[in-house]
Amino acid sequence: MSELTRRLLFAAAAVAAFAGPAFAQDTLKLGLVAAMSGQSAKSGEAIVRGLSIAIDEINAKGGVLGKKVELLVRDDESNPAKGAVAARELVQREKVVGLFGGLDTPVSIAIVPFANQNKVPFMGVWAAGTPITRNGAAENYAFRVSAVDVLVDKALVDYAIKKYATKKPGMILINNPWGESNEKGLKEALAEKKMPYAGIEKFQDADVDVVPQLTRLKEAGADVLFLVANVAPSSQVVKSLDRMGWNVPIVSHWGPAGGRFSELAGPSSERVHFIQTFSFAGKLSPKAESVLAALKKKYPEIKSLADVTPAVGIANAYDAMHLMLLAIAKAGSTEGPKVREAFYALPKYEGLIKTYDKPFTPTNHDALTSDDYIFTHFKDGEILPLTN
């Protein structure tokens, strides 16, 4: 990302924070390190929107600890080294009192040890990699409001059993660390249910034809497929299934939500049921209505529900920001150790995704559980929730 765009983003965030009439000299600074450019740029945009709406709400009520809240945004370009440098700069030069993370698990994993060492709370709002919050540190400063791979994998298995009465599922996974993390999680989740699997097949981002892998799974008797891949490779799986004429149910991680899945995969995209933490579709809670209205007002390019994407990024970020600010308010201080203790004693918070009642404990730093996941699919280009 160019210096210019970075400055513009920074300016936008700053304007949002200084929206009040008085130009506060002393602000409470929070930092975001996320992908603002490259293939995942849309995720960074969604996170900034969610965080900014929450900040606006708090600042309208006078801020936290008597200070206005300000968001500083840094682009990690999905690169762990750049993310680590950005986190260091935010903490040491800008003196941010908390960090937020983006979509890429490897970037978050690079930042978390630094956050723990410097006793700065880190809040994950997207990356689902298990070791981000379960990092083994004696004093763990990493919290998260998002899905967690090991819980997602359990939820995928539960869904396949409940919805399709699967006896022998197969796995078709992207050949990278994310696929690997879920291979481990799915195997564990299946072992817990004492369920055998038909096979584990890998494929590459650039594979045009996944029929050979899928044929192996079919011959091995797979009755449901677990799919883990981003949007473009996921659509190659669907197209290959179309060609084979194999009408097997597909239960997927949230990769397809990241882009134009229904355009890429065609009408059969509907058969892919994938996990989400939130959807703006259907009947909305009053909270969701008000957030949606605020989004439309602040970002005029949002006209319909199809523009509030990816909804998970917005919703996770919105709730995460409120929880972070509640913790700071509760601590009565911005000192890391005090804020960390306050995370364990948060007051009840009625959020966008759910009502958070004691979301964090010293042994659990993930606010969302598998009960909070919903299954969705694409219908006419929109992500709609599925009812069981």
Residues touching another protein, count (CB under 8 A): 32
By C-beta, is 140 or 230 nearer to another protein?
230
Pick one of 27, 118, 175, 369: the residue that binds another protein (CB under 8 A): 175
Residues 95-134 that bind another protein (CB under 8 A): none
Do 388 and 163 form a contact (C-beta atoms < 8 A)? yes
Is 231 one of the binding residues for another protein (CB under 8 A)? Answer: yes
Do 282 and 308 form a contact (C-beta atoms < 8 A)? no
Q: What is the DSSP letter of 306?
A: G
Name the minimum Å distance from CB 150 to another protein: 22
In whole angstroms, give the CA distance from residue 16 to residue 7: 14
Is 235 one of the binding residues for another protein (CB under 8 A)? Answer: yes
Pick one of 119, 167, 168, 216: the residue that binds another protein (CB under 8 A): 216
Pick one of 5, 92, 204, 355: the residue that binds another protein (CB under 8 A): 204
Is 212 one of the binding residues for another protein (CB under 8 A)? Answer: yes
Residue 132's Cβ-count burial label (10 Å; 0-12, 13-18, 19+) is buried
In whole angstroms, give the CA distance from residue 201 to residue 225: 10
φ, ψ for residue 379, nearest 5 deg = -140, 115
Q: How many CB atoms lie within 10 A of CB 92?
A: 10
Name the minimum Å distance from CB 211 to another protein: 5
Pick one of 206, 300, 363, 371: the residue that binds another protein (CB under 8 A): 206
Name the minimum Å distance from CB 246 to another protein: 9
| Maximum separation of any 2 CA atoms in the chain, in Å | 69
Pick one of 209, 289, 335, 357: the residue that binds another protein (CB under 8 A): 209
The alpha carbons of the chain give a radius of gyration, in whole angstroms, of: 21
Is 381 one of the binding residues for another protein (CB under 8 A)? Answer: no
Pick one of 245, 286, 301, 371: the residue that binds another protein (CB under 8 A): 245
Q: Where are the beta strands (DSSP E) in the chain?
A: 27-34, 68-75, 99-101, 122-124, 142-144, 170-174, 199-203, 225-228, 250-252, 272-276, 349-350, 355-356, 374-379, 382-385
Pick one of 139, 192, 263, 357: the residue that binds another protein (CB under 8 A): 263
Name the minimum Å distance from CB 229 to another protein: 12
Pick one of 75, 76, 149, 201: the residue that binds another protein (CB under 8 A): 201
Pick one of 38, 80, 106, 131: the residue that binds another protein (CB under 8 A): 38
- Provide the CA 304 distance to its chain's centre, in angstroms: 22
Pick one of 3, 23, 208, 247: the residue that binds another protein (CB under 8 A): 208
CA distances from 323 to 22, 44, 74, 367 (A): 26, 19, 21, 10
The site for another protein (CB under 8 A) is made up of 38-39, 41-42, 175, 201-204, 206, 208-209, 211-213, 215-216, 219, 231-232, 235-236, 239, 242-245, 259-260, 263-264, 266
